[in-house]
């Protein structure tokens, strides 16, 4: 396996490929994303261990969405069973994926624990257990500090796990090695990932403004609030579709292409 170093402009290309692929199979890819969200949401309502279980299966669910994108690129219709790809590839890969999930959950808990030092755990409880965000809460300096702490600490954690599920599943890497290579390739392609993130940020902002304006013209502010959630979910589905292309461009097999 070879790591690819790509130019910064490649980040915008990943976004373009993700959106184009999403519209090849919009029903399938949006449906699978909503299935992913439903699985995480159902697990999260289980008392005590629900949020932890949701974090543990997150790498496996991410792999499922990447596998679905791969199917769409090949011109196939991704079936719901593809979300279980991580658990249908043999005991060794399933064990490695679960190890990734446990490590990820522990990493998130450490990040939330650090953020709790800033606001007494208010942000961490909201993130892990859910709840309602109010304007007053967001305006509190302690809450804002906790958010910044969580964001800063979560960034390197995200880099370690960005490609790790794909490397475990398609390259037969052990968990620790997959985390290492994922972190290395994200650092070496940092400019491309920065462009990738900035382009998606602009797209999300523009989509939010357009939905708000259109819904307000049609039916008023209440309609805008109702329309924002499904619009945001569709945009998130496109974002997750684009993740596969960050992996595909960053790694080569000995034959010269990503699996």
From first to last of its 259 residues, the chain has per-residue pLDDT tens of 788 899 999 999 999 999 999 999 999 999 999 999 998 888 888 877 888 898 999 999 999 999 999 999 999 999 999 999 988 888 899 999 999 999 999 999 999 999 999 888 888 888 877 777 777 888 888 888 999 999 999 999 999 999 999 999 999 999 999 999 999 999 999 999 999 999 999 999 998 888 777 777 776 666 666 777 788 889 999 999 999 999 999 987 544 444 5
CA distance 81 to 64: 9
Helix axes 26-44, 50-73, angle to 10 degrees: 170
SS3 37: helix
CA distance 100 to 46: 21
Q: Which two tokens stand for residue 52?
A: 């932890």
Residue 56 class from Cβ within 10 Å (0-12 exposed, 13-18 middle, 19+ buried)?
buried
| Single pTM value for the model | 0.87
Of residues 258, 188, 237, the one with CA closest to residue 10: 188
């Amino acid at each position: 396996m070879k790591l690819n170093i790509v130019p910064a402009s490649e980040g915008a290309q990943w976004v373009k490929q993700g959106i184009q692929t999403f519209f090849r199979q919009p029903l399938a890819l949006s449906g699978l994303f909503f299935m992913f969200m439903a699985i995480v949401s159902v697990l999260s309502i289980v008392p005590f261990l629900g949020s932890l279980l949701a974090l543990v299966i997150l790498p496996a669910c991410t792999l499922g969405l990447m596998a679905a994108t791969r199917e769409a690129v090949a011109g196939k219709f991704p079936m719901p069973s593809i979300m279980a790809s991580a658990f249908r590839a043999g005991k060794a890969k399933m064990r490695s994926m679960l190890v990734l999930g446990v490590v990820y959950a522990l990493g998130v808990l450490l990040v939330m624990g650090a953020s709790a030092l800033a606001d007494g755990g208010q942000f961490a409880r909201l993130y892990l257990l859910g709840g309602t965000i109010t304007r007053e809460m967001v305006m509190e300096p302690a809450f804002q500090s906790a958010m910044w702490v969580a964001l800063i600490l979560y960034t390197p954690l995200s880099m370690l796990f960005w490609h790790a599920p794909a490397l475990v599943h398609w390259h037969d890497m052990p968990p620790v090695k997959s985390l290492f290579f994922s972190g290395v390739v994200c650092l070496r392609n940092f400019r491309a990932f920065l462009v990738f993130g900035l382009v998606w940020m602009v797209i999300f902002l523009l989509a939010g403004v357009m939905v708000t304006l259109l819904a307000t013209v049609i039916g008023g502010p209440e309609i805008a609030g109702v329309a924002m959630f499904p619009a945001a979910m569709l945009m998130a589905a496109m974002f997750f579709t684009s993740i596969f292309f960050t992996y595909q461009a960053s790694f080569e097999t000995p034959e010269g292409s990503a699996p």
